Amino acid sequence: SLAHDAETVRACQRLRYKVFAEELGADLASKKTGLDVDGYDEYCQHLVVRDGRYGPVVGTTRLLLDSDAQRAGGYYSQGEFDLTSVLAIPGRFMEVGRTCIHPEYRSGAALGVLWQGLVRFMVLNEVDYLMGCASIPFGEDGRYSHAVVQYVRQHFPAPPYLSVHPLVPVPARPAGAQVDAVIPPLLKTYLRFGAYVFSEPCWDPAFNVVD
């Protein structure tokens, strides 16, 4: 379902904090202890998966429609990429971001239920294009993220006229043997649904990821 009250939104923000800050070590800008909050939250719809009708929030993603992005001053992705060529395409856009699943529910149906809700929301709002930043863990030396980026850009390239440019380049790949490109589950789902990879990645040091 969608979050229709402030407490449900806070439950989503607590889950995001648990995953991104406590589990993955992100240096979040939010000053509210235990919550992942930024300036886009108030303009987004928050999609929620619960364990049972009234159970805890175990999965979430936030959705930013193009009309709400105008009020927010742009998309989150525009803080990382020059999206001029993409946003010139006729049609309705929606950005998806801050997607996470509680660690205890990643082997079950929670992600599938989240995608069902996402698709229904897109249909109801007549969305033509879904976009967003897919994060890849940088790791200790960056070799893993470089391997994944090289693989997905080779196998899932966007058409040349849709070139997108990162605003913060990723540090150069360190010397040494290449590692296996094991695709993160969320990115693998995007690619299975037909997503394109548009550019070289952007470096996000706060989350220690490349997007």
Q: Which pLDDT tens digit goes with each residue over 15-63?
A: 999 999 999 888 887 767 799 999 999 999 999 999 998 899 999 999 9
Q: Are 48 and 60 in contact (CB under 8 A)?
A: yes
Q: What per-residue confidence (pLDDT) applies to 193?
A: 87
| 137: its two tokens | 């863990």
Q: Is 149 exposed, middle or buried (0-12, 13-18, 19+ CB in 10 A)?
A: buried
Query: Sign of the CA dihedral 193, 102, 202, 33?
Result: positive
The model's pLDDT over 150-164, given as tens digits with 9 standing for 90+, comes to 999 999 998 888 888
**Residues linked to residue 57 through DSSP beta bridges, in sequence order:** 50
Beta strands 136-137 and 81-82, pairing class: unpaired
pTM: 0.91
Reported as a single tens digit per residue, the pLDDT across 63-79 is: 999 999 999 999 999 99
**Residue 174 pLDDT greater than 80, yes or no:** no
- Give the separation between CA 141 and CA 143, rounded to whole angstroms: 6
Q: Please return the burial class of 155, using the count of CB atoms within 10 Å of its CB with bins 0-12, 13-18 and 19+.
A: exposed
Rounded to the nearest integer, the mean pLDDT of the chain is: 91
pLDDT bracket for residue 107 (50, 70, 90): confident
What is the pLDDT, as a whole number, of residue 39?
Answer: 93
**Other CB atoms closer than 10 Å to residue 67's CB: what's the count?**
12
Task: Give the closest residue to 211 by CA, choosing from 131, 150, 152, 132.
Answer: 132
Annotate 146-161 with DSSP letters as a single string.
Answer: HHHHHHHHHHSBPPGG
Per-residue pLDDT of 77-92, as tens digits, reads: 999 999 999 999 999 9
Q: Are 208 and 142 in contact (CB under 8 A)?
A: no
